[in-house]
Structure 1
Amino acid sequence: MAAEEVAAEEPGVGPSGEGGEGLVRSPASGEAIIILDPIVVGATRIGLNPFDLPVAIDIIGAPQIQDQAPQVRVSEVLNRVPGTVVTHRGSFAQEEQIMIRGFGGRSQFGTRGVKLIADGIPASTPDGQGGPGLFDLGSARDIEVMRGAFSALYGNHAGGVVQILTEDGPPRPTVSVRAMGGSDATWIQGVKLGGEVGSLNAILDTYRFETDGYRDWSNARKEQLNAKVRWRLESGADVSLVVNQLNQPQSLDPLGLSAEQVAENRRQAQPVARTFRTGRSLDNLQAGLRYEQSVSARDSLQIVGYVGSRSNEQFLAIPLGAQNAITASGGVSAFDRHFHGGSLWWSHENTLAGGPLSLILGGEYETAQEDRKGYRNDLGVRGALKRDEANQVTSRGLFVQSLWRFAPRWSFDSGVRYTQVVFDSRDRFICTPEWVTAPGMGPDRCSGSTQPITQTNLNPDDSGRRTYDAWTPVLGLVYRATPSMNLYANLGRTFETPTFGELAYRPDGRPGLNLGLRPALSQHYEVGMKLTMGSDSLLNLAVFRIDTDDELTVATNQGGRATYQNAPASRRQGAELRFDTAWAQGFAATLAATYIDARFTAAFPTCTGTPCRTLPPLLNQAEVRSGNRIPGVPPYTLFGELSYAHEPTGFMGALDVYAQGKVDVDDLNSAFAGAYWTLNLRGGFRQHWGPWEVSQFLRVENLLDRDYIGAVITNDINGRSFAPAAGTTVLFGLTASYVF
């Protein structure tokens, strides 16, 4: 194990034709080119090249997403976007964590603080909890990543927006099969079908992924299908139907390790993982319909509607004694969720004071209803009922956005949104001397507990309702200094509520929702430069500062269950750099670098054990000092890639490096995961024989077999904070396509 991998510190010390801006490879020749033509940017709702917008936004095209890649996790590609970090804990039981400008680091599973969208359909629930596992990379046209203030126009999050767009089917009917295999008994098989007949265009991608995992007790299987059908009507309207299904029948969770356990055997699972058979099963099905119509030469309309369902069951490592309490929610969390929603946008083109004006008005509605239950985890077997509630969260938003080119070299982008998020929980598990809705072993016993029900030992009605709302304005200014250089500035306010998962439990161990949590409010400030150098190079630079009140942070984390609290204030400030270039003879390079200083700017109490009380009488608490780093957020990241394509032989390959600074694991900054860097290599060949195209590749991750921590579990009370990343892994792949 590397000496700096984990350590302790003194507490308190501090083939797509639609492309996108960026470097791509021509599918026909392998030549490196940069696309700078105007494109539709979905993440900002303004149909312009990102070069002309006052916002940091990067687009990853299909070649980077699909070529010589597993096409399973977004962490394969998002590391090439500055300001963006994606971590996974080596387990598909915990979805990947996306952080943008330091937001999302608190997430214990999935993504928080970042809006996720798939073809106009939210991949985040109305409360802000997202799962990038829904993104199908095998059929992705591109992924758009927007950072900073303009995410205010999308509602309940603070860091940014990540949107994936499905490609259209090819002009001629085509079938493509892919097969991959590699380290840790990893196997991937996929099929993609697509084509166009008259006004109908369709694409379907489906695959199956399975692995034994790098660590013990991390087996997983993932099956996914993504399909899009697009009609072009005689009226000029465009109608798209998108269907996505995700099935993970059983993903085992090895849990986090302590620093001592990592040093002893980094591939081991936490012993209690086997005892309680920790893991998750998941099934998600959703469908959406999008209608786009130009209603006049200056006006257009877009309507989106979607519906879906999600079932989830997760086994947690909660001690049996803790589960026996009348107020405990057990060690098996299960829910069935149904969700639906829609949006309506109207856009208008006009002039104001002689300058072109684009105006967008819109509204969005999202709701999710779930039956959530908790059961005893009797050493890996689902036992008696411990929790039963009906939850609903609804989000409503109205927004207006405008872009005005008020002078030949100037443009002004502005917008404002009103967002309301309503949480409603109805408790159906009540155990009091007067009223028992969850009978157990006797008339005075509550389900799943041997303790008698008394006036002081009871599980009351914990129903509750909470409404959050906010106005979030944003302003941006662009100055075209030269035809190849734009300077910009923006400022805005974002709003982030707790999720239902973060409201679910109180740090003091008392029953009921944690309805005292307040939303986090952030003020964003940013200046930047965008520069093109001929037709083959681009450079983007952004400098930002974000001040947050009522930062949401983890209060306690034990056995896979976390509680949350508000920290008074925090600040994130830093810089982002992206550089892409292409040279003659098939060489190209990419650089993405980020520096961020993310700290709490006011002291506050935090928990050192459970139950915890941070107000008198104090229990299991300590003070977090002003100036401590926000846990989970690396101070710097660096991605660099050198690629080469040789057209006569059909060879394509690349060598890339990724580096990341040390990451604190708790608010007290008492321990950290050390800085690291890894080297990765890929290469392969492509052949054409009439209607056939065949390609082969070899991909080697962590080429030098370096030991490092891939993710941390923040504020874990037991010190099990570290998720070791895999050593050297190898993946072979073969793809064959036939054009009819």
Structure 2
Amino acid sequence: MKFFYARLLLLAAIVLLSVPAWAQFSATGTVLDQQSRQPLVGAVVLVPGQTMSVATDEQGHFALSAATEFRAVRVQLLGYQPQEVPLKGPGLPLNITLKPSNTGLSEVQVIGYGTGTERKLLETPAALSIVTEPELQRNNPVFLQNTLNQVPGVRMNVRSAASQSNLVIRGIGGTYGRFGIRGIKLYQNGIPLSEADGTTSLDDLDYTTLGRIEVIKGPASTIYGATLGGVVSFQTRKATPGTSLQLGTTVGKYGLFRTNTGIGVGTDKVNLLVNYGHQETQGFRDAHGNSRKDYVTVAGDFYVSDKQTVSVLGTYTNVHDNFAGELDSTDYFTSYTKTAPAYVSKDIGVDAEVTRLGLTHTYRFTGNFANTTSLFTTNSYSLSPVEPNFAHIQRGKRGVRSVFTYAPQLGSVPVRLALGTEYLANQDNNKRYAISAVGVSGAITSDQEVKSTQTNTFVQAEASVTTHTTLTAGVSYNVVSYDIQDLIPKTAPAQSLTGYRQFKPTYTPRVAVLHTFNDQVAVFAQYSTGFSPPISNQISLSSGPINPDVKPETNENFEIGSRGRVLRNSIDYDVTLFRMRVQNGLVAQTSGGITSFVNSGESQYQGLELALSGNLVPTEAAGELRQLRPFVRYSYTDAEFKSYKLGTNDFSGRQVTGSFRNLFTGGLDVDTRVGAYLNLTAQYTDHTPMSDNNARYAAAYWLLNSKIGVRNKLFGHLGYDVFAGLDNMSDVRYVASVALNQATPVGKPTFYNPGLPRNWYAGANLNYTF
């Protein structure tokens, strides 16, 4: 018996001593793109301090085992910020989301261009630029133009301190619009910001809550309807994992003051951001340039099940802006900060409230068949004493967007199909009153109810004809209509502005081909078309009924391009050559004191867009530097009136008014492992013609901006970012926005909206995760 017990004890000892040799510790989970929630393929998952690693599969899944115990995993993927995630507990899978970085963007997934089948930027056959959260953070977040103007081919102009923005892509968009954007479609979290008549205002969008922007340049998509110059898709910032309290303050010269108070919830089942922001600035003009805004943003994704996701977007904005007005050439060059006297005496500006609500439901019937449907509504009311009248405008918009996607395998060829529709309907009540010398409204002069609708039905197909080659073809069918009711009785029927106009349905086809080389370099070519309908006040004849002759502007676009990583994956590049032909351009004609719009001839836009960047610090480097990233963005646009006659004037062969031939941005980002960072930016804007005859130009200029700060985390819970910046370091005088084709009886046209002189800002953002 003793012998038996001895053998038993010996066997137990051998088993216990051998446990480390065969015991395995493991972790499983899924890695997703934080913005799109799509699986990331090829992400490397490893144990910190060990060599053991695995890569995620096509569903983003991983299973990692190690011989020694570990309490966290590190996940890294080119184009995304690496993340270290603690284990939840034995047997509990991890759900890991990665944020895009500002390097390796070819590997980042595209959201706004997708039809439910998100792709990497490298695999997208279009001139498309992605602005990630690190890009947004490298500038003063209050002024979005500092970021968007770094995108090749894009120009954002701001007419007053913090409002009246317009947007130009490849010379198209806000060129003739002093108070808004047309010809470019804008979205927030998949919800249209644009109105049914094709106009958009950015003044109610809270830039500080953005986490990502995607810019499609040219009429490159059949799935968005009425677009002439492109599409801009804004994405609200996603909450970080856990429950967090977010506080932020920015102060600066000229009375700049901005606060943010937010709550974020990030779990496997919900991602929710609730934020209140208050913003004000006095502006740098002598008087009447102040702006005050209050924002409320609620954005959430609720992952009901593996098949269903419900997303909500709710925003409320209260705006009070005073405008300082344009200057003539004498005042601009001698009294740069002067305010236009009439803007003060008449208290010209705007008071507005805007509310947006959107609900999106995504249902995945099977692994390759899904539907995404959005319902949305917007209501706004504004009071605006603007020459020559006092405007009371109430706007209401409602609509639906629904897209079915199907990804079958036809023999050996993977195919992706998208079929969808978008419907927008506006009902606007526009009342205008006479305005007194001190800005008081008088007798009513105009009372119109304008109903506008826009319907876009589209189909798009993609086929991977080889492992590396994809063909895309699509077409959209577009219908735009206006119903205008003149609510002021007229003595003669011919003077009534009442009328109805439905434009002839427009088809906009698109064909593209893309080929990738070794998953590092891609080339593409595409042909696409677009259109932009006249807005409501462009089809109305002030002398009577709706103009039956005015037509939508149309655009034919051809482009070739390439993007990827070269020189041993150290340099990211993106280059596009394009040529666009715009026909039936809308221009204003004035006769007998009455202004009307006519289609005039053809314009041609051709050019080059280039982006280069790279991190000079290898990923595996162990020094103090984490990033040393130089970058260059350049665009050349030759925009020319090919056929443009206005009365007795022939402007054919002239540069398109308000266009820029050369735009350049260069910069350097330095980031250290202790959290200290430095951002340097130099921007060049070429001179631009201010009138159709090219007799006057706004001068070219350079802007030099800088930002320093430190961001890190304390005690594992408190994240902080303390920063300071100096914009327009050389204190140059420049035109931030040009009022085109201005004329006055005394011969001093008021073209000039001066840009900000040298100005500083500083602030701090805190994020405490519970």
TM-score interval, normalised by the smaller of the two chains: 0.7 to 0.9
Which AA in structure 2 matches 1:479? H
Residue 206 of structure 2 corresponds to: 136
Question: 1:342-399: CA deviations, max 9, x gaps?
Answer: 1111100113352111000001111010111000111211111111111110011110
Q: Are 2:332 and 1:273 equivalent residues in the alignment?
A: no
User: Is 1:518 the equivalent of 2:555?
Assistant: no
Higher mean Cα deviation, 135-144 or 200-209?
135-144
1:78-103 deviation per Cα after TM superposition (whole angstroms, max 9, x unaligned):
12211111111134452333434434
Q: Which residue of 1 aligns with 2:586?
A: 552
Q: Deviations over 1:474-503 (max 9, x none)?
A: 000112244322111000111111112433
Q: Does 1:630 align with 2:656?
A: yes
Distance in 2, matches of 1:295 and 1:114, equals 33
Paired position in structure 2 for 1:653:
678
**Alpha carbons of structure 1 residues 556 and 186: separation in structure 2 relative to 1, 3 Å:** farther
State the distance in 2 between where 1:300 and 1:117 align: 21
- Gaps of at least 5 residues in structure 2 are 1-31, 37-76, 85-98, 618-624
Change (3 A) 1:184 1:624: farther
Residue 665 of structure 1 is matched in structure 2 by 690
Distance in structure 2 (CA, Å) of the matches to 1:695 and 1:149: 39
What is the SS of the residue equivalent to 2:733?
coil
Counterpart of 1:589?
Answer: 630
1:25–1:33 CA contact under 8 A, matched in 2: no
**Paired residues for 1:379-458 under 5 Å:** 379=437, 380-432=439-491
Q: 1:502 aligns with which of 525, 538, 556?
A: 538
- Worse-superposed segment, 464-473 or 689-698: 689-698
Cα deviation code 1:211-255 (max 9, x no counterpart): 11122321111111211122212362000111011110x211122
What is the deviation of 1:54? 1.2
TM-score w.r.t. the length of structure 1 is: 0.86
Is 1:705 the counterpart of 2:731? The answer is yes
Change (3 A) 1:627 1:229: same
Check if 1:251 corresponds to 2:326.
no
SS in 1 for 2:134: helix
* CA drift at 1:35: 4.7
Q: Give the superposition deviation at 1:514.
A: 4.5
Give the match for residue 739 of structure 1.
769
Name the structure 2 match of 1:336. 394
SS at structure 2 position matched to 1:366: strand
CA 1:651–1:26 in 2, change beyond 3 Å: closer, same or farther? Answer: farther
Structure 1 position 460, deviation (Å): 2.5
1:18 paired to 2:89: no
- Percent of residue pairs identical: 21
For 1:592 and 1:405, the matched residues in 2 are separated by 31
Q: 1:210 and 1:558 mapped to 2: Cα distance?
A: 43
Aligned equivalents of 1:44, 1:226: Cα separation in 2: 24
CA shift, 1:132, in A, is 2.3
Give the stretch that moved more between structures: 200-209 or 368-377.
200-209
Separation in 1, partners of 2:557, 2:592: 33
Deviations 1:11-47 (A, max 9, x none): xxxxx96369997766889997535445242224341
The aligned residue for residue 714 of structure 1 is 740
Contact 1:24–1:63 (Cα < 8 Å) also in 2? no
How many residues in Structure 1 have an aligned counterpart in Structure 2?
Answer: 667
Tell whether the 8 Å contact from 1:102 to 1:572 is kept in structure 2 after alignment. Answer: no
Do 1:41 and 1:50's aligned partners in 2 also have CA atoms closer than 8 Å? no
Contact 1:256 1:722 in 2 (8 A): yes
Question: Structure 2 vs 1, CA of residues 313 and 24 (structure 1 numbering), >3 Å: closer, same or farther?
Answer: farther
* 1:282 aligned partner: 352
Structure 1 residue 462, shift from structure 2 partner: 1.2
Mapped contact 2:587–2:600 kept (Cα < 8 A) = yes
User: What is the identity, as a one-letter code, of the residue corresponding to 1:127?
Assistant: D
Q: Deviations over 1:323-355 (max 9, x none)?
A: xxxxxxxx1122111111011111001133521
Counterpart secondary structure, 1:133: coil
Distance 1:97 1:22 in 2: 31
One-letter code aligned to 1:642: L
Deviation of the 1:556 alpha carbon: 6.0
- Residue 573 of structure 1 is matched in structure 2 by 606
Greater alpha carbon shift after TM alignment, 125-134 vs 29-38? 29-38
- Which of 1 and 2 has greater Rg? 2
Counterpart Cα distance in 2 of 1:32 and 1:478: 24
Could you tell me the TM-score, scaled by structure 2's length?
A: 0.82
Hey, what's the Cα distance between the residues in 2 that align with 1:314 and 1:332? 6
Q: Distance in 2 between matches of 1:186 and 1:514?
A: 45
Against the structure 1 CA distance between its residues 312 and 346, is the aligned structure 2 distance closer, same or farther, given a 3 Å change threshold? same
8 A Cα contact 1:285 1:308, kept in partner: yes
SS in 2 for 1:149: coil
CA positional deviation for 1:208: 0.9
2:92 aligns with: none
Task: Give me the whole-angstrom Cα distance separating, in 1, the residues matched to 2:125 and 2:511.
Answer: 9
Choose which of 421, 424, 443 in structure 2 pairs with 1:363: 421
**1:123 deviation in Å?**
0.6
Cα distance change, pair 145–199 in 1 and its aligned pair in 2 (3 A): same
Q: Which sits farther off after the overlay, 688-697 or 303-312?
A: 688-697
1:484 and 2:508 equivalent?
Answer: no
> Could you tell me which residue of structure 1 aligns to residue 667 of structure 2?
641
Residue 76 of structure 1 aligns to a residue whose secondary structure is helix
Q: Is 2:96 the partner of 1:60?
A: no
Structure 1 residues 116-125 or 623-632, which shifts more? Answer: 623-632
Structure 1 residues 599 and 68: alpha-carbon distance in aligned structure 2, compared to 1, 3 A threshold: closer
CA distance in 1, matches of 2:103, 2:161: 37
Q: Is the 8 A contact 2:669 2:680 kept in 1?
A: yes
Whole-angstrom CA distance in 2 between matches of 1:266 and 1:118:
36
Q: Secondary structure at the match of 2:220?
A: helix
Q: Distance in 1 between matches of 2:427 and 2:100?
A: 48
Cα distance per residue 1:76-130 (max 9 Å; x no partner): 3112211111111134452333434434312121111111001111111011101
Paired position in structure 1 for 2:383 = 313
Task: Output the aligned Cα RMSD.
Answer: 2.6
Taking the aligned partners of 1:721 and 1:694, their CA distance within structure 2 comes to 43
Q: Which amino acid aligns with 2:281?
A: T
Amino acid at match of 1:701: D
Greater length-normalized contact order (CA 8 Å, ≥ 6 residues apart): 1
- Work out the CA distance in 2 between the residues paired with 1:460 and 1:514: 13
After superposition, the C-alpha distances for 1:500-527 in whole angstroms (9 at most, x for unaligned) are 24335x5xx6355555321111111101
Cα pair 2:711 2:722 within 8 Å, conserved: yes
**Partner amino acid for 1:466?**
R
| Alpha carbons 2:106, 2:572 under 8 Å: kept | no
User: Displacement, 1:289?
Assistant: 0.5
1:351 corresponds to = 409
User: How many Å apart are 1:163 and its aligned residue?
Assistant: 0.5
How much does 1:545 deviate?
Answer: 0.5
Partner of 2:343, secondary structure, is: helix
What's 1:442 paired with?
A: none
Instruction: Tell me by how many angstroms 1:310 deviates.
Output: 0.9
Deviates more, 1:530-539 or 1:624-633: 530-539
After the TM superposition, which of the residue ranges 211-220 and 471-480 deviates more from structure 2? 211-220
